[in-house]
Amino acid sequence: MRGLMQGDHLLISSLIEFANKNHGDSEIISRRVEGDIHRSNWATIYKRSKQVARALDRLQIAAGERVATLAWNGYRHLELYYGVSGSERVLHTLNPRLLPDQIAWIIDHAQDQVVCFETTFVPIIKAIHANCPHVKYWIALCEEAALPLDPGLPKVISYESWIKAEEGGSYTWPQFDENTASSMCYTSGTTGHPKAALYSHRSTLLHAFSTCQVDVFGISARDSILPVVPMFHVNAWGLPYACAMAGAKLVFPGPGLDGKSVYELMELEGVTFAAGVPTVWQMLLNYMAPLGVKFSSLKRTIIGGSACPPAMIHAFQENYGVEVLHAWGMTEMSPLGTVCTLKNKHLKLSSEEQMKVRLKQGRALFGVEMKILGDSGEELPHDGIAFGDLYVKGPWVIENYYRNDQESPLVKGWFPTGDVATIDPDGFIQITDRSKDVIKSGGEWISSIEIENIAMSHPSVLMAACIGVAHPKWDERPVVVVVLRPETKLDKADLLGFYEGKIAKWQVPDDVIFVDGIPLGATGKMLKTKLREQLKAYSLPTK
Ligand code: ADP
């Protein structure tokens, strides 16, 4: 028997309609490439996103066609989020930190018809436009007067003039099937060509509902939210959608991601909740510590994308009274899978025991199912000890990649995350490694994340990466590559001694390599593939 409830489809346009009607005066603040701080609100974003939709009609971009963005976090990008997807086109966010050749490959693979770019990225457009035969329009996110005039550019339209032409016109969002594609994002592709996750209106809305829950982002109309995590990578963890659903104020950092710019913006706009990867928060903490300044409004920060070092959780909580929510997810999961919020029973634990829980990546959101499998495909117990390959399923997990000419990545309906994890009886996962980074020593596995976390809890260590090096007897042994904090000293023996009592003796790294920097990928994560390449000539010390 069919239920007798209204079957309206879950569409992204309903979010901006809602935000306009109920939270029209909630502010949208953006630091711009123009150098100033721009003030808008949900009502204006609503109006201008409809202008975007009409302007796309005028260019005769059909439903389902891809409209790409190469842009920082800001109000114009937000208008494109709603104008493009709301009008049944597909928003394709491009990562400007990739190499120009990779960006051109991605634009070509997605067959983007329009590319909207920030003027900061003129050098990229110059380098790639000749290799993008499908692109019909290049739109610069600026006023007519600020149009870049470089002769190496193709014909460029000013975004402001383009949408101004639609001022005063009316527009009704089209209604269509909620399984229609809404946006796409290519994974960084550390191996092989990048692959695209193609999100739907339904998956995006369900993800937004779930992330708004109290034990997840727990955001409200009273919050002022700073997504430092980029809108060009997995939709800034869905915050542009969740904030419309909650009616929250949004504060966009634009290109200003250094500690000083982020701190000043937080203080200026009363930011209560922020989201980002550990490398960005490290820059913020490094800026604040020597000045002795504090946060006056920030209450919670969500940290994910790579493992959050204990020292960072500790610094936020003990020095600044800010709660850290450790989260895990991936492009293929829209991206959120788990968030670490404590249960009542954890509140009774000592602070040391509590920290052990906080270091975990947390428990699944409603909607995400998880399991871990052993080497022969057997399901492993959720006892917090057994670790294996982590598989997930759910309505915002991919079924297949866009234009994938190989088999679907799913195994019996489950998506293999490529991560190795434990799951405890309360459902908290702990990621021990990417499966390709696991260190196998004498038939046992050593967690590189654990080795890194210990090193990073040493006061002199700024960053640490642990990799396995071939060993004739043990197969592989761990070494830890370390960047020291400025003006600190540490010798190998001291750091190796620091591991004593914290992990089993055989897990302690064989060596410490001090370097000036660790290569980072396009999403701010340590690039261990590159690090291994750099250390090709390295051999373990003979004992
Ligand atoms: P890519 O880096 O390929 O662009 P994603 O940004 O989707 O891909 O990254 C997903 C991966 O990042 C996860 O599979 C996991 O390995 C890692 N990751 C994300 N969050 C965490 C976390 N909190 N702790 C450890 N690893 C994490």
Quote the ligand 1 centre to 400 CA distance (angstroms): 18
By percentage, how much of the chain surpasses pLDDT 70? 99
The number of the ligand 1 atom at minimal distance from the alpha carbon of 522 is 4
Q: Lowest mean pLDDT: which of 146-155, 275-284, 374-383, 440-449?
A: 440-449
Q: pLDDT class for 362, splitting at 50, 70, 90?
A: very high
76 lines ligand 1 (CB under 6 A): no
Q: Rounded to whole angstroms, how far apart are CA atoms 239 and 85?
A: 15
- Can you give the pLDDT at residue 191? 58
- Can you give the pLDDT at residue 255? 96
DSSP string computed for 337-371: EEE----HHHHTS-HHHHHHHHTS-EEEPTT-EEE
Q: Rounded to whole angstroms, how far apart are CA atoms 310 and 187?
A: 27
Q: Annotated active-site positions, please?
A: 187, 332, 440, 445
524 lines ligand 1 (CB under 6 A): no
pLDDT of 318 above 90: yes
pLDDT of 289 above 70: yes
pLDDT of 188 above 90: no
Mutate which of 330, 527, 528 for ligand 1 pocket (most atoms within 8 A of beta carbon): 330
pLDDT tens digits along 497-541: 999 988 888 899 999 999 999 998 877 788 888 899 898 889 888
Beta-strand ranges (E) seen in 378-533 are: 387-393, 415-423, 428-434, 439-441, 444-446, 461-471, 475-484, 511-514
The whole-number average pLDDT for the span 310-321 is 94
What is the H or E stretch that residue 301 is in?
strand 300-303
pLDDT tens digits along 455-483: 999 999 999 999 999 888 888 899 999 99
Query: What residues form DSSP beta bridges with 397?
Result: none
| Residue from 229, 253, 221 nearest 329 by CA | 229
| Residue from 132, 159, 203, 207 nearest 48 by CA | 159
Residue ranges of domains in the chain? 11-194, 444-534
- Can you give the pLDDT at residue 82? 98
528 lines ligand 1 (CB under 6 A): no
For 444-534, CATH number? 3.30.300.30
Cβ atoms of residues 109 and 403 within 8 Å: yes
Q: Report which DSSP code applies to 317.
A: I
38 lines ligand 1 (CB under 6 A): no
pTM over 0.85: yes
Q: Which residues lie closer than 8 Å to 484 by C-beta, 6 or more apart?
A: 460, 461, 462, 490, 514
Quote the ligand 1 centre to 215 CA distance (angstroms): 21
Give the length of the chain.
543
Residue with tokens 């909620």: 178
* 11-194 CATH fold: Rossmann fold (3.40.50)
Query: What residues form DSSP beta bridges with 370?
Result: 392
Quote the ligand 1 centre to 307 CA distance (angstroms): 8
Is pLDDT larger for residue 212 or for residue 97? 212
Instruction: Please list the alpha-helical segments (H only) found in 28-68.
Output: 42-58
- Can you give the pLDDT at residue 434? 87
pLDDT tens digits along 239-274: 999 999 999 999 999 999 999 999 999 999 999 999
- Can you give the pLDDT at residue 475? 87
pLDDT of 189 above 70: no
The whole-number average pLDDT for the span 163-174 is 96
Q: Rounded to whole angstroms, how far apart are CA atoms 107 and 380?
A: 41
